[in-house]
Amino acid sequence: MTPIVSVKSLTKTYSTGFKALNSVSLDIMEGEILALLGPNGAGKTTLISTICGITKPTSGTVTVGGHDVITDWRAARQMIGLVPQEVSLESFERVHKTVSFTRGLFGKPADPGHIDKVLRQLSLYDKRDNKVMQLSGGMKRRVLIAKALSHAPRVLFLDEPTAGVDVELRKDMWKVVADLRSQGVTIILTTHYIEEAEAIADRVAVINKGEILLVQDKADLMRQMGKKQLRIDLTAPVSAIPEKLARHNLALANDGSTLIFTYDTKGERTGITALLNDLQAAGLQLTDLATEQTSLEDIFVGLVKESA
Amino acid sequence: MNFPAIRVIFRQEMARFFRTFIESLISPVISTSLYFVVFGAAIGGKIDLIEGVTYGAFIVPGLIMLTVMTQSVSNASFAINFPKFIGTIYELLSAPVNYLEIVIGYVGAAAAKSILIGLVILATAFFFVDVPILHPFAMLAFLVMTSISFSLFGFIIGIWAKDFQQLQLIPLLILTPLIFLGGTFYSIDMLPGIWRTLALFNPVVYLVSGFRWSFFGTADVPVVFSLLAIAVFAGACLVLVWWIFKTGWRIRQ
Ligand SMILES: Nc1ncnc2c1ncn2[C@@H]1O[C@H](COP(=O)(O)OP(=O)(O)OP(=O)(O)O)[C@@H](O)[C@H]1O
Ligand SMILES: [Mg+2]
């Protein structure tokens, strides 16, 4: 399968001399949802802006649907919808007008039916005749999404679509994203909410300091890199880890009434059997056992720390 | 050509104009009426005929030009500076539109507004004085060409300006003096020797002279020079705009 967006050795140095992207390569497949994770200043917005034509690449190539964004920019841009990170809208413009404006910019003839459909999908229909300044912050963000969808793009970039959006609405947006995906739209979103990536992405890319650290199938990633923890609740608290258990990777928690054993699910032996035997030998009484999977968040924090 | 894009840009800009229709038209009409009262009636009565025309009528073409030039520059510069300022320029940069389409949309709308204002001022003038128009088509042509070329110039200022202060700067420092010294209220023949020669370096002189010729049939400089001046000015602006979009100067990082 050929990727719908292909980024090859992309480097972006701003006029200040700052290198925001350092030889980034990334292939995005048609119909997938890719979550781009990274701390503030990692280069997420720069990457998106360069693909969409807002900033010029310093070197490297980007193609969208096989069209180079520099030499064949018209065809490339026609396929793209962009929801920017910053909410910038004209306050005096009416909702349906500003959405139709974007559709026109992308060379599509006026189509009020389609605009209304998009507005309904984003629960903005009853606000269609309002001026933008009469909307709430979350609604304005949805107007930006409506604009990006006004010309039925094949690839949609969402730069932190749920920043400053309440939990309820965030779930609504995830539904919209899932709907779009089922219509075959490829979606690239950046987010700081790891749970968001966990909830909706097919693949996750982690970027830090202008370099892609990892691109992987979300499930694979969590399986491969996931460490598990075994929580052992004791009947009587201990003041220190007993001598007999010293060889195990244990930590004390809960004022000594809980032992936490961290193990690698990838490993050939997890060491659980040996631990349980030693617990018995040490004469400890257990009240409960529980295991926990490491979250994507832990993986992410671990990766970024490593690259720092 | 991306015609839908040109259409929506043009419409959006015209809608902005008509939202403040009254303000947009009233202020130029009031200020020119004041000029007619002060210069035409009060002072003009004490001034001899200039080139066979009463002073009240003589200043009409200059006044129209004065307003059309300043309106063109301020409208076009604001139209493109505003999206830059509030950040909505991202849409233009990421859309499949080229510089020509953007320019036609924005400059076309700014020029259309100026032409409209120019015609309204002309209509106002008829209330105060008798103004003959010997060459109506040439008059319209000069009006249209001046509106377009000064809107182009304003567009460039709008891209160049980093804030609203800078937006005011060029019109205040360069344009206003050029216009006032450009023979809007007098024939440059009335200037003493050296000033007359200096005036010939002022491009506005050529535009006002040509426009006045279309009314009264007399000009400070040959009409061909006037046409040439507008063509050179518009051509230079167009080349500059093309270069701006090619290099992304002050718009694309
Ligand atoms: N116009 C610019 N000129 C100079 N440097 C810039 C410019 N825009 C961004 N940068 C720098 O490039 C780096 C990456 O910025 P970018 O906006 O891409 O980060 P990000 O990953 O989107 O961060 P965030 O999560 O905060 O949105 C930052 O260090 C930033 O300071
Ligand atoms: Mg960002």
Convert the pLDDT of each residue in B81-113 to its tens digit: 999 999 999 999 999 999 899 999 999 999 999
Nearest residue (by CA) to ligand 1, atom 25, is A40
Confidence category of residue B133, pLDDT binned at 50, 70, 90: very high
User: Which ligand minimizes its atom distance to the CA of A38?
Assistant: 1
> Which residue in chain A has the smallest CA separation from B247?
A56
The verdict on A39 and A52 lying in the same domain is yes
Does residue B204 surpass a pLDDT of 80? Answer: yes
- Residues B187-191 have a mean pLDDT of 82
Q: A189 C-alpha to center of ligand 2: Å?
A: 11
- The CATH number linked to A9 is 3.40.50.300
Edge-first strand order for the sheet with A227-234 is A250-253, A258-264, A227-234, A286-293
Q: Is residue B253 part of a domain?
A: no
How close B119 comes to chain A (CA, Å)? 28
State the total domains in chain A.
Answer: 2
The verdict on A251 and A173 lying in the same domain is no
Q: Minimal CA–CA distance to A138: which of A116, A103, A170, A111?
A: A170
Q: Which tokens sit at B7? A: 């259409």
Q: Is residue A302 part of a domain?
A: no
The verdict on A215 and A235 lying in the same domain is no
The verdict on A244 and A215 lying in the same domain is no
User: What's residue B186's pLDDT?
Assistant: 82
Q: Is residue B84 part of a domain?
A: yes
Q: Is residue B252 part of a domain?
A: no
Rounded Cα gap, residues B246 and B230, in angstroms:
24
The verdict on A256 and A185 lying in the same domain is no
Nearest atom within ligand 1 for CA of residue A43:
18
**pTM to 2 decimals?**
0.86
Q: Is residue A304 part of a domain?
A: no
Convert the pLDDT of each residue in A221-264 to its tens digit: 766 666 788 899 999 898 888 888 888 888 888 888 999 998 87
The verdict on A262 and A181 lying in the same domain is no
Q: Is residue B100 part of a domain?
A: yes
> Which residue in chain B has the smallest CA separation from A153?
B95
Nearest residue (by CA) to ligand 1, atom 5, is A14
The verdict on A231 and A216 lying in the same domain is no
> Which residue in chain B has the smallest CA separation from A16?
B253
**A43-49: long-range contacts at Cβ-Cβ below 8 A with a sequence spacing of 24 or more?**
A43/A12, A43/A207, A43/A209, A43/A210, A44/A159, A44/A190, A44/A207, A45/A85, A45/A159, A45/A190, A46/A12, A46/A20, A46/A21, A46/A210, A47/A7, A47/A10, A47/A21, A47/A207, A48/A82, A48/A157, A48/A159, A48/A188, A48/A190, A49/B253
Q: A82 C-alpha to center of ligand 1: Å?
A: 17
Nearest residue (by CA) to ligand 1, atom 4, is A14
Rounded Cα gap, residues A271 and A294, in angstroms:
18
Among the residues of chain A, which ranges form H helices?
A: 44-52, 73-78, 95-105, 112-121, 137-149, 167-182, 194-200, 218-225, 272-281, 296-307
The verdict on A33 and A158 lying in the same domain is yes
Convert the pLDDT of each residue in B5-38 to its tens digit: 999 999 999 998 888 888 888 888 888 888 888 8
How close B97 comes to chain A (CA, Å)? 7
Q: Is A50 on the interface with B (CB under 8 A)?
A: no
Q: Assess contact for A272 and A174: CB atoms under 8 A.
A: no
Write the burial class of residue B208 (CB in 10 Å: 0-12 exposed, 13-18 middle, 19+ buried).
buried
B86 vs A55, A90, A105: nearest CB: A90
User: What's residue A225's pLDDT?
Assistant: 61
Contacts A–B by Cβ distance under 8 A: 81
Q: Is B224 on the interface with A (CB under 8 A)?
A: no
State the total domains in chain B.
Answer: 1
Q: A39 C-alpha to center of ligand 1: Å?
A: 11
Residues with CB under 6 A from ligand 1: A 14, 16, 18, 20, 38, 40-46, 85; B 253
Q: Is residue B9 part of a domain?
A: yes
User: What's residue B53's pLDDT?
Assistant: 84
User: What's residue A224's pLDDT?
Assistant: 63
Nearest atom within ligand 1 for CA of residue B253:
1
User: What's residue B40's pLDDT?
Assistant: 74
Mutate to test the interface with B, among A15, A91, A105 (most CBs of B within 10 A): A105
- For residue B103, give its domain range: 3-247
Q: CB A82 to CB B90 under 8 A?
A: yes
Q: List Cα–Cα distances, B16 to A25, A147, B109, B113, B168, in angstroms.
A: 43, 19, 10, 11, 20
The verdict on A195 and A218 lying in the same domain is yes
Give the rounded percent of residues in chain B with a pLDDT score beyond 90. Answer: 53
Q: A192 C-alpha to center of ligand 2: Å?
A: 10
Q: Is residue B62 part of a domain?
A: yes
The verdict on A215 and A256 lying in the same domain is no
Q: CB A56 to CB B93 under 8 A?
A: no
User: What's residue A254's pLDDT?
Assistant: 84
Q: Is residue B148 part of a domain?
A: yes
Q: What is the mean pLDDT of chain B?
A: 90
Convert the pLDDT of each residue in A254-266 to its tens digit: 888 999 998 877 6
- For residue A266, give its domain range: 227-294
Q: Is residue A299 part of a domain?
A: no
Handedness of CA A199, A201, A205, A210 (dihedral sign): negative
Beta bridge partners of A250: A261
Q: Which residues of chain A have pLDDT under 70?
A: 222-226, 266, 294-296, 308
Q: A61 C-alpha to center of ligand 1: Å?
A: 20
User: What's residue A282's pLDDT?
Assistant: 87
Does residue B129 surpass a pLDDT of 90? Answer: no
The verdict on A20 and A39 lying in the same domain is yes
Mutate to test the interface with B, among A54, A64, A99, A100 (most CBs of B within 10 A): A54
Convert the pLDDT of each residue in A71-116 to its tens digit: 999 999 999 999 999 999 999 999 999 999 999 999 999 999 999 9
Q: Is residue A300 part of a domain?
A: no
- The CATH number linked to A244 is 3.30.70
Residue where one domain finishes, among candidates A200, A223, A246: A223
> Which residue in chain A has the smallest CA separation from B84?
A88
The verdict on A148 and A189 lying in the same domain is yes
Write the burial class of residue A13 (CB in 10 Å: 0-12 exposed, 13-18 middle, 19+ buried).
middle
Chain B contact set for A54 (CB, 8 A): 90, 93-94, 252-253
A107 vs B2, B16, B93: nearest CB: B2
DSSP symbol at A110: P
